[in-house]
């Protein structure tokens, strides 16, 4: 099945109830994919996203293997086998490393790795059988460069680990018909925020702009429609 003819492809976007996930889901639907979303806890946002896009949305804790299995079972039963997976769901823990208690530190690391790796493990089974699959992970700009951070060190460390896992999985999946790539955006613009917030973020991080989510979503869709694997792209 060719990546340029998406009509029958089922695309699951995790963390799809708002923000970047919702933007990716919106664009995928416009491109003709059969879209399903997952969310963890924000019921109101999930309801609004489902109504807006007219797509199903499912609650799941993607750090729990049984929830991941249930999520895929429901999507497969109600829509069809997942051939496109966008791993947008992740925790975001901030603060000094030494200020974090062990549970919060674990949340910062596990909440990035497990909600990505567990869905991949589940999705790849069917993708390999059909000899077609497209997986895109969401990273963090600069994740391929080992460097120090203030305030977001745990999140950056987890995203760096995710970049290594993405490249390694691409090697493992060579020749299977399944591609895996990673888009690593800089700080995303948030339409609901005031201009003062934007100025503060750009000044604080030395940026010339914040990244519009639609640009990242477009890059994700381009990778899904392509054939290359193992790409890890910064988007600034």
Could you report the per-residue pLDDT of 37-49, keeping only the tens digit for each? 999 999 999 999 9
Whether 47 and 69 have beta carbons less than 8 Å apart is answered as no
Q: What pLDDT does residue 148 have? A: 86
Mean local confidence (pLDDT), 21-29: 97
Mean local confidence (pLDDT), 204-227: 91
63 pLDDT higher than 70: yes
The residues facing 12 across adjacent strands are: 36, 85
Q: What is the pLDDT of residues 77-107, one digit of tens each?
A: 999 999 999 999 999 999 999 999 999 999 9
The residue that leads in pLDDT, 70 or 186, is 70
Q: What pLDDT does residue 3 have? A: 44
Q: Percent of the chain at pLDDT above 70? A: 97
Q: Percent of the chain at pLDDT above 90? A: 80
Q: What pLDDT does residue 1 have? A: 43
Three-class DSSP category at 203: helix
Q: Which CATH number fits domain 10-235: 3.50.50.60, 3.40.50.2300, 3.30.450.20, 3.40.50.720?
A: 3.40.50.720
Q: Which of 90, 87, 79, 89 is nearest to 35 (CA)?
A: 79
Mean of the per-residue pLDDT values of the chain: 93
Query: CB neighbours of 15 closer than 8 A, spacing ≥ 6?
Result: 21, 38, 39, 40, 88, 89, 90, 115
Q: Where residue 192 falls among pLDDT bands split at 50, 70, 90?
A: confident
Pairing of strands 82-87, 133-138: parallel
The tokens of 106 are what?
């674990």
Whether 120 and 87 have beta carbons less than 8 Å apart is answered as yes
b/e sequence 186-218, b meaning 16+ C-beta within 10 Å: bbbbeeeeeeeebeebeeeeeeeebbebeebbb
Q: What pLDDT does residue 4 have? A: 45
Mean local confidence (pLDDT), 149-174: 95
Whose tokens are 């390999």? That residue is 128
Mean local confidence (pLDDT), 29-54: 97
166 pLDDT higher than 50: yes
Range in 21-25, 86-90, 148-152, 225-229 with the lowest mean pLDDT = 148-152
Three-class DSSP category at 220: helix
């Amino acid at each position: 099945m060719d990546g340029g003819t998406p009509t029958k492809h089922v695309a699951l976007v995790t963390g799809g109830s708002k923000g970047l996930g919702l933007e990716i889901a919106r664009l995928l639907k416009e491109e003709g994919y059969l879209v399903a979303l997952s969310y963890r806890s924000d019921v109101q946002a999930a309801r609004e996203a489902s109504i807006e896009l007219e797509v199903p949305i499912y609650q799941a804790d993607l750090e729990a293997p049984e929830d991941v299995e249930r999520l895929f079972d429901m999507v497969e039963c109600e829509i069809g086998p997942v051939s496109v997976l966008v791993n947008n769901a992740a925790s975001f823990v901030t603060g000094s490393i030494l200020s974090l208690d062990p549970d919060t530190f674990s949340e910062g690391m596990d909440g990035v790795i497990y909600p990505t790796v567990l869905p991949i493990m589940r999705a790849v089974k069917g993708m390999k059988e059909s000899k077609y699959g497209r997986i895109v992970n969401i990273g963090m700009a600069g994740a391929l460069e080992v460097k120090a951070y203030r305030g977001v060190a745990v999140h950056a460390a987890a995203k760096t680990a995710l970049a290594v896992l993405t490249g390694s999985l691409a090697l493992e999946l060579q020749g299977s018909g399944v591609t895996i790539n990673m888009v690593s955006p800089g700080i995303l613009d948030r339409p609901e925020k005031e201009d003062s917030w934007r100025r503060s973020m750009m000044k604080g991080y030395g940026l010339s702009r914040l990244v519009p989510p639609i640009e990242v979503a477009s890059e994700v869709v381009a990778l899904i429609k392509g054939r290359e694997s193992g790409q890890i792209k910064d988007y600034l």
